[in-house]
Amino acid sequence: MSAADPEAETETPVCYRHLNRETWGRCQRCGRPICPACQTQAAVGVQCPECVREGRVGMQKRAPAIVRAFAPGRGTVVTYVLIGLNVAIYALQWATSQDLTEAWFLNPYSAGSEPWRLITSAFLHAPNFIPHLLFNMYALFIFGPVLESFLGRIRFLALYLIGALGGSLGVLTAVEIWALTDGALQTAPAGALGASGAVFALMGAVFAMRRAMGVDVRQLLFVLVINLALPFFVGGIAWQGHVGGFVVGFLLGLVFVRTRRREARVRQIVGISAVAAGLLLLFVAYLVSAPAVYF
């Protein structure tokens, strides 16, 4: 091992682009000495012009957004999977000549013996009205990524599924009122299908967490008013499912926003579980109150 040159140790580095300028600054990526005139501020430290140029080329060559969404650690994968499932199942509704629709739609009068319909109906859409699917998927595309990035994948999926359950319970509430009043207040509610309950749960959660998320809800209110008013002008819309989903989403949003701190994780799990358990208990109460209706 040769001895170090003491003069070399004390020699001041010079900018690799301006050899007459002494500098102690170095590029964070390649380590080359660069003077202040050649430095570009990066997230950490500074970079030289060549490294900045290479980074820009890399950004231009990166994968499409849909591919990046499924990369590990990305925050929108659940949203795109849900959209894909809804579209694929809509295709299966047609491929099975609507046998799948018959097997999965929410038939309130067999909900006691076929409880899975409370969830499966949320993945079906009106076979002869494709705007039903398009509107729900557009709303999921708008609200899903924002909420999934804010909540994380597991909490977002729980919000979606419990919201779908809340939408189905909203429809069953209308059936319960009809049964308890012997049809005095309304005619017998029909079956229902669609992701609207789950989508309205996303809207309810955004409304509850608007301050924490920094979201302007004026446009959201406009969408809500239009959708709540539509049943008065267009028949065949199970608005009770919209209301049920929104209320459940709002409750879950309150749970999320009030248990954001890491030390409140257990309380958050308890709160989410309490909302889901409350819906299941309500379902059981309906079955017990009028078994002849639901079985």
Q: Exactly one of 97, 242, 273, 289 is catalytic; name it.
A: 242
Residue 252, Cβ neighbours under 10 Å: how many?
A: 27
Joined together, the tokens standing for residue 224 give 């809500």
Q: Is 132 a catalytic residue?
A: no
Q: Is 196 a catalytic residue?
A: yes
Read off the amino acid at residue 19.
L
d(CA 237, CA 17): 69
Q: Closest Cα to residue 269, out of 158, 122, 168?
A: 158
d(CA 97, CA 212): 46
- Cα→Cα distances 69→157, 161, 174, 268, Å: 16, 21, 39, 27
Q: Exactly one of 121, 125, 132, 196 is catalytic; name it.
A: 196
Q: Closest Cα to residue 277, out of 123, 169, 152, 151?
A: 169
- Could you give the residue numbers annotated as active site? 196, 242
